[in-house]
């Protein structure tokens, strides 16, 4: 009986070792060669900026509005590219994609020719406090040529 148990244990151990050996084998598969793609767009532009305390009050929508002018935000970016805005912490080392809601405040933005407009409203519809100085980063991706 002891020899049978020993044989079963040895056989089980051998099967386990062989299984690991089979699982660690790598099979290299080479797929068909396709055509080369077009070159990408390396013209991405970023612009970090800070607001001042002079936010405009929009009493109709109970919002604070800040407008930032940037010439790189042209018709080609508006029609075929992309504009993204990020809200930064005090040190400018962490960025949060807009729009978002935080601490009962809604942060949103819109873009038009040469202008980014930031809007801050309260989730309960009341007028929020003046946002003061804040950091933002604008990322512009023009269309590929």
Q: Answer yes or no: is pLDDT of 25 > 90.
A: no
Contact 25, 102 (CB under 8 A): no
pLDDT digits (tens, 9 = 90+) for 65-114: 999 999 999 999 999 999 999 999 988 889 999 999 999 999 999 999 99
Query: Structure pTM?
Result: 0.69
Residue 80 tokens read as: 């075929």
CA distance 133 to 93: 16
Please give the average per-residue pLDDT across 10-27, as a whole number: 56
Looking at residue 43, its pLDDT comes to 85
CA distance 75 to 117: 16
Average pLDDT, the chain: 84
CA distance 88 to 85: 10
Please give the average per-residue pLDDT across 34-55, as a whole number: 81
Looking at residue 74, its pLDDT comes to 93
3-state secondary structure of 93: coil
Looking at residue 104, its pLDDT comes to 95
Looking at residue 130, its pLDDT comes to 94
Return the closest-CA partner of residue 109 out of 133, 137, 85, 142: 85
Report the 10 Å Cβ neighbour count for 95: 16
Contact 67, 116 (CB under 8 A): yes
């Amino acid at each position: 009986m002891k020899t049978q148990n020993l044989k079963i244990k040895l056989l089980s151990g051998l099967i386990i070792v062989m299984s690991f050996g089979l699982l660690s084998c790598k099979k290299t598969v080479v797929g068909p060669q396709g055509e080369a793609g077009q070159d990408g767009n390396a013209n991405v532009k970023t612009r970090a900026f800070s607001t001042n305390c002079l936010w405009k009050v929009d009493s109709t929508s109970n919002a604070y509005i800040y407008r930032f002018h940037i010439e790189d935000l042209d018709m080609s970016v508006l029609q075929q590219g992309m504009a993204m805005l990020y809200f930064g912490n005090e040190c400018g080392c962490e960025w949060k994609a807009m729009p978002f809601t935080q601490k009962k405040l809604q942060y949103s933005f819109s873009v038009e020719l040469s202008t980014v407009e930031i809007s801050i409203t309260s989730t309960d519809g009341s007028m929020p406090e003046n946002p003061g100085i804040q950091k933002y980063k604008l990322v512009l991706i023009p269309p590929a040529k």
